[in-house]
Structure 1
Amino acid sequence: MLNWLRLNWLSWQWFHQWTSPQKFYGISLTLARVFAFLGLIGLATGWVWGLVFAPEDYLQGNSYRIIFVHVPSASASMAVYLSMAILAVISLVWRIKLADMVARQCVTVGMALTALALLSGAIWGKPTWGTYWVWDARLTSMLIQFFLFVGLWAIHNAIDEQKLADKAAAILVLVGVVNLPIIKFSVEWWNTLHQPATIRITQETTMAMEMLIPLLLSMFATYLCVAGLVIYRTRLEILYRERKTRWAQDELAQWEKA
């Protein structure tokens, strides 16, 4: 029993050590570069494969190719919001500053991804449904997610007190997390124009492998690019929030010399 408690204590100490802003800043640059490099290569490969070499869809023709942009951006935007919800719990329960810093930089990235998903979906909707926009359950819930990101961005920019802004944003994130299952299952719960999920985990997909592989590659690469971008932006957030500490001042001085 004592050994188990000691192991848990050491694990917590290790976890808490590596979640300090200074420690994260020290190791994060390499991670950001690796994720961005692999993500950009994968994204270029997936897009060229999907947009140029993948076969036409027998129903939608070439218009379906927008899914290689639309699906990864929509999926990544939901993943970013879910990550923010997890970070909100970590921040509110364990008071880890790094969680607030990462969550803050997720906001603009998630907002951009959601906007891209809505825009690409509108482009897809015109030849498919005959209009750029319908008040479909999937589209409406995705629009709500965009407004949630905008609200989070407004909170961080309107409240000068950093701790208060972080707490208010964390609460809003947790309130809005109920929208994620609505986005995910809206096509199953309601009669909607939006097509069902392209990729199914529990069922066999009807998508040809020549289309599925570049789509999965584009999705995975998008996740890597998002991770790299969030990590790099978090480094800048750390320097801004820790600018009064000695180590951050030394780092900023090195930037000025460079």
Structure 2
Amino acid sequence: MQEKSLAELYVLMVEPSKSQAKFIHRELKAAGITHFDIAIDGTSAMETMSQFKPDLVISAMYLPDMTATELVHSMREDKYLTDVSFMLISSETGFDSIDPIRQAGVTGILPKPFSSDQLKRGLYNTLDILIPDELDLGEFNAEDLKVLIVDDSTMARNHIKRVLKGLGIANFTEADDGANAVPLLEEHFFDFVVTDYNMPKMDGKELLSHIRSSSNQRSIPVLMVTSEGNQGNLAAVEQAGVSGICDKPFESDTVRALIQRMMADV
């Protein structure tokens, strides 16, 4: 296994507040980050990234010229920047504001104020994506696993793939809705399924119910990835036979533990 060091990361901070930038800068240095730049708005951040590609962007939610959502979407639409990790630091808690960030695929969403441990967790999640550390699955080889990813967000699917690739998994099939996943499950064998909860035609619970009752892979492990906050809905998913539930952001350490547990039960 390759040793991982936070000193390897190049971080771009996007923060219009001088006092907040100073505080975050101090916390990054304390965590071991030595290579970083600072931008005060989205436009200058994109210009900086066009010249020096960072490993991670850490941004406030509200910038003078755009929101963090608009910034991360601009990055995901740029072929040069599409795989750059993104972390949000914000006091914003509204679902309508935060969920688009979650759907875009981020390594962390930190509150204001955040703790040193919360910051380090997000930084190490970035390292886990950049430096592969293959899953230890006993008799299974991670590189041989075939995974079906079901999510109506292209950005979310891409982020899930980046995280799984960091665990040594590389064989993916994608569907943009549960309804489109059904024929794939009938035509191909998969080792496990990663599915979103909220999808337009057939949501994650409906897909899970179909798998458990009607598919020819009824015992396949299913990992649900969701920003769903309704505990009743999550309880219904558990009753339907989900193998594991993972919050968005899709974090490497959590996913590693869930996959190891799922595959041990196969």
TM-score normalised per structure 2: 0.21
Q: Which has the higher contact order (CA 8 A, sep 6+)?
A: 1
Larger strand fraction of residues = 2
TM-score normalised per structure 1: 0.21
Larger helix fraction of residues = 1
